[in-house]
């Protein structure tokens, strides 16, 4: 097995990517490829001691920037660290790619370079958000598809179910629809129709979940269109950050507050680390012909290392093969109808 890291993607590239690669080699004894400018990468790796036989650097001359238009960038920057990394997966030379670069470009590259699994209409991004039970909840789709049909949400449910089992080790992941109320029959056209279809597939579908309860971990996976998924993810992030900010401000506004905050320093740090996205690695793009893991743009070396671990489990768990099986079952049940 081999995992490839897009060496030049992300706000902290290549430093965090290189350090993350070294940590991953040490911790998982994994064979890695890293794409990017060979000189720059070699210079960075020179700062670390590790088993060099586990690493291959593939030289590339271009970088896809955050400002680049996704589809155009994938098509025109053929020798970018991202496109070359994706191509290595396509060609079977690597089992999974980790990139902290331009999200839109990675989604486009997943589709155009790695390619969709036959039968899958829309691949989905499947990020995790921390929940109040100190675990994580998956969002499928977390932002790849703004407009969806019920068929897409069914695919998201099936694919994220496999990912949760194989990569997160959940036994029978609970799957719920993001909705405006818990009763069946609530919501917009899309969720009403999807509800009906989700009842008929072989996943542990528990019904609707309200946005208020997303953080309460009543469910392992939340299924929704990518627009709703993005709203859920980003509002959770925004509100958590904002409440922490207000808290700080409130504490610093009085002497008593300052003393109290000093006493609570360690506890507050603990709380902040629980809300830390780096802990959870990256978000897989499910439904393409290989492992594609999107790490957060601001990933530090720990986030990159954790994303490599996801890539390893993704490959070991044969997630792609299982998704192919799932879509076959879906197609044969459609034929029967």
Q: How many helices (H) and strands (E) does the chain have?
A: 12, 12
The CA distance from 188 to 173, in Å, is: 25
Q: Let me know: does 62 contact 77? Beta carbons within 8 Å.
A: yes
Task: Give min distance, CB of 70 to a second copy, in A.
Answer: 12
| Residue 167 Cα distances to 13, 85, 155, 229, angstroms | 26, 21, 18, 21
Task: Give min distance, CB of 125 to a second copy, in A.
Answer: 12
Task: Give min distance, CB of 127 to a second copy, in A.
Answer: 13
For 114, which DSSP code?
I
Return the number of the residue (61 or 242) whose C-beta is nearest a second copy.
Answer: 242
The 3-state DSSP class for residue 277 equals helix
Return the number of the residue (214 or 304) whose C-beta is nearest a second copy.
Answer: 214
Return the number of the residue (35 or 228) whose C-beta is nearest a second copy.
Answer: 228
| Residue 85 Cα distances to 79, 290, 302, angstroms | 10, 12, 20
List contacts with a second copy (CB under 8 A). Answer: 132, 143, 146-147, 178, 180, 187-189, 191, 210-216, 225-228, 230-247, 250-251, 253-254, 256-257, 259-264, 266-268, 270-271, 274-275
For 70, which DSSP code?
H
Tokens of 171: 């036994």
The CA distance from 255 to 177, in Å, is: 47
Tokens of 309: 């671990």
The CA distance from 261 to 150, in Å, is: 49
Task: Give min distance, CB of 115 to a second copy, in A.
Answer: 25
The CA distance from 195 to 186, in Å, is: 10
What residues form DSSP beta bridges with 205?
A: 175
Return the number of the residue (31 or 184) whose C-beta is nearest a second copy.
Answer: 184
Return the number of the residue (162 or 224) whose C-beta is nearest a second copy.
Answer: 224
Task: Give min distance, CB of 134 to a second copy, in A.
Answer: 9
Task: Give min distance, CB of 179 to a second copy, in A.
Answer: 8
Return the number of the residue (143 or 317) whose C-beta is nearest a second copy.
Answer: 143
Spell out the residues 6+ positions from residue 39 whose beta carbon is closer than 8 angstroms to its own. none
> In the chain, what are the helix, strand and coil shares in percent, each to the nearest 5?
50, 20, 30
Return the number of the residue (43 or 248) whose C-beta is nearest a second copy.
Answer: 248
Residue carrying structure tokens 């990912």: 163
Return the number of the residue (7 or 229) whose C-beta is nearest a second copy.
Answer: 229
Task: Give min distance, CB of 262 to a second copy, in A.
Answer: 8
Task: Give min distance, CB of 141 to a second copy, in A.
Answer: 11
């Amino acid at each position: 097995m081999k995992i490839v890291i897009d060496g030049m993607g992300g706000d902290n590239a290549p430093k965090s990517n290189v350090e993350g690669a070294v940590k991953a080699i040490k911790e998982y004894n994994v064979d890695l490829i890293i794409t990017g400018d060979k000189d720059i990468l070699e210079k960075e790796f020179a700062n670390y001691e590790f088993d060099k036989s586990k690493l291959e650097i593939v030289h590339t001359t271009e970088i896809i920037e955050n400002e680049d238009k996704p589809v155009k960038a994938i098509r025109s920057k053929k020798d970018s660290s991202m496109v070359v990394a994706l191509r290595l997966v396509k060609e079977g030379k690597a089992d999974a790619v980790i990139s902290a670069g331009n999200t839109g470009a990675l989604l486009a590259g997943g589709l155009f370079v790695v390619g969709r699994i036959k039968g899958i209409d829309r691949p989905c991004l499947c990020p995790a958000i921390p929940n109040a039970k100190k675990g994580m909840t998956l969002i499928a789709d977390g932002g790849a598809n703004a407009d969806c049909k019920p068929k897409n949400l069914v695919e998201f449910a099936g694919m994220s179910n496999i990912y949760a089992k194989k990569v997160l080790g959940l036994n029978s992941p609970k799957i719920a629809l993001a909705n405006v109320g818990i009763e069946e029959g609530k919501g917009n056209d899309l969720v009403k129709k999807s509800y009906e279809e989700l009842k008929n597939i072989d996943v542990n579908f528990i019904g609707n979940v309200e946005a208020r309860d997303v953080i309460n971990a009543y469910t392992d996976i939340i299924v929704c269109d990518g627009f709703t998924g993005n709203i859920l993810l980003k509002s959770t992030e925004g509100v958590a950050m904002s409440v922490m900010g207000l808290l700080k401000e409130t504490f610093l506004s009085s002497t008593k507050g300052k003393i109290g905050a000093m006493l609570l320093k360690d506890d507050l740090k603990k709380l902040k680390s629980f809300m830390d996205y780096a802990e959870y690695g990256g978000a897989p793009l499910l439904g393409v012909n290989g492992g594609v893991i999107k790490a957060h743009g601001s990933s530090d070396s720990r986030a990159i290392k954790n994303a490599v671990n996801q890539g390893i489990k993704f490959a070991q768990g044969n997630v792609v093969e299982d998704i192919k099986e799932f879509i076959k079952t879906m197609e044969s049940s459609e034929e029967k109808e």
